[in-house]
Structure 1
Amino acid sequence: MATLKVAILILGIFFNTLTENILQKEVMDLQKLLAELNLNIDMAVEAHALLRGETGQEINGVEEQVEKMENIKITTITIKNQAAAQAMGRAPGIYITIESPPLKINDPYVKQEIIQAMDKGLKLLIGDKLTPQQNVLLVG
């Protein structure tokens, strides 16, 4: 019985290692393809979706949180470690994407949701590091 447990444990370790190696190879192949095609993925949410779609698995060390409001969608990607950063082609950190209808529509409800999403995102990114009297420049 003990021999069977050891064999199962070794098989499990082998399978996990094999799976990680396959996943790492697929990520490297994808990065090579992007480089060959001279493609640059700007948004972390796009990079995450492309990598996850290519491998069919979540990326170790990357967390995705999606929040849908009435008119907008907020995707927060958190890259937690260096291996995940290398796979994603991004530095470790928090990346927030707010998807909305075009602002030229001039819908006050959409604008209010965007303001709420930006407020929440800035609080997540900055926390207590700024006071209400300080200025912040947003580019996008």
Structure 2
Amino acid sequence: MAVSKRIRTDLALETTERFKEENTEIRGVEIQEDYDEEKDVRTTVVRIVTENGAKAMGRPQGTYITIEAPDLSVPDEDYHREISEEISKHLKQLIDLKKEKSILVVGLGNAGITADALGPHVVENLRMTRHIIREYGLRGIDHEKMHRVSGIVPGVMAQTGMETAEIIQGVVAETKPDVVVAIDALAARSVRRLNRTIQITDTGIHPGSGVGNHRNGLTEDNLQVKVIGIGVPTVVDAATIVHDSMAHLLDALEEAEQKEFLEEMIAPNLYSMFVTPKDVDETVKYLSFTISEGLNTAFGEA
């Protein structure tokens, strides 16, 4: 559907759904889904295993793990703790944490804009250990083995005059981490996934790509170390809302007529506008704490 292709999404899962809607087979892409009825958590693993699959998906080869949790925006500590454990479990699958690692966590985004402040808030809640271990050794924190965790909030180019990738390349060159974990706010195709979905990928992250601000990516190719990307969709394309609302009204039309009508009705400027829920400030606080606890749990001990 032409309109759907123009609507932006950072979620690999939503890209696969578009192919399903069009009854198109995606070769070179493996999809595995698991639903935990007790927790009401659905986990979908999308693996892009060939170059053809990457081209069809418009994403690099690698693993994309999507955790859908409807109550993520609700202040339920027990529920959020369970999601933190899920995040920790998946991180351990993507990173070999059996041996001590040096891990740099990058909080992407603009702390002054609530919908874009997820990354900075996650870094605020992290337990940093690199400086303590360097100063006092593991005995100083009463552990035999522990990963060296450090973090940085590089800001955005309008604040620094520098590409985020330039800043992180400098930090990586100086501190030499084994792994970089980049946290960022994402854009979704579906309103129901706003603030209720977490994507974890081993392909890195491209700051601003979901809202059309294409910056140099934080990837293994660019940084020369493994990069894990973690994101939550906090905004949705305004055209999505119009599209979905009109589609319900047009169910009676033939599919081809519906596509043509929607293409004509949705104003081009809507594709550059993004919408976020009114309670996003509180929700981002919950989500950032949930993600940071997942990282703290995963990186607590080697």
SS of the counterpart of 2:22? Answer: helix
SS of the residue 2:6 aligns to: coil
Indicate conservation of the 8 Å contact 1:34/1:40, yes or no: no
Instruction: Say which structure, 1 or 2, has more relative contact order (CA 8 Å, 6+ apart).
Output: 2
Please identify which structure carries the higher helix content.
Answer: 1
What TM-score, normalized by structure 1, do the two folds share? 0.63
Structure 2: gaps of 5 or more residues: 102-145, 150-180, 185-230, 232-302
Cα separation, partners in 2 of 1:134 and 1:52, compared to 1, 3 Å: farther
Aligned residues: 107
Asked whether the 8 Å contact 2:71–2:79 carries over to 1, the reply is: no
Alpha-carbon distance in 1 for matches of 2:81, 2:3: 37
Q: CA RMSD in A?
A: 2.5
The structure 1 residue matched to 2:49, chosen from 66, 80, 84, is 80
Question: Aligned partner of 1:66: which letter?
Answer: E
Q: Secondary structure at the match of 1:118?
A: helix
Aligned position for 1:138: 183
Residue in structure 2 matched with residue 107 of structure 1 by the alignment: 76
Cα offsets for 1:7-46 (capped at 9, x unmatched): xxxxxxxxxxxxxxxxxxxxxxx5xx258x6322321000
Structure 2 CA distance for partners of 1:38 and 1:123, relative to 1, 3 Å: same
CA distance in 2, matches of 1:77, 1:130: 28
- Name the SS for the 2:63 alignment partner: strand
SS of 1:103's equivalent in the other structure is: coil
Distance 1:67 1:112 in 2: 19
Contact kept? 1:68, 1:74, Cα under 8 Å? yes
Preserved contact between residue 74 and residue 98 of structure 1 (Cα < 8 Å):
yes
Equivalent position amino acid for 1:134 in 2: R
Shift of 1:108: 2.5
Whether the 8 Å CA contact 1:74–1:117 is kept in 2: the answer is no
Percent identical: 33
Shift of 1:96: 1.2
Unaligned stretches of 5+ in structure 1? 1-29
TM-score, length of structure 2 as denominator length: 0.32
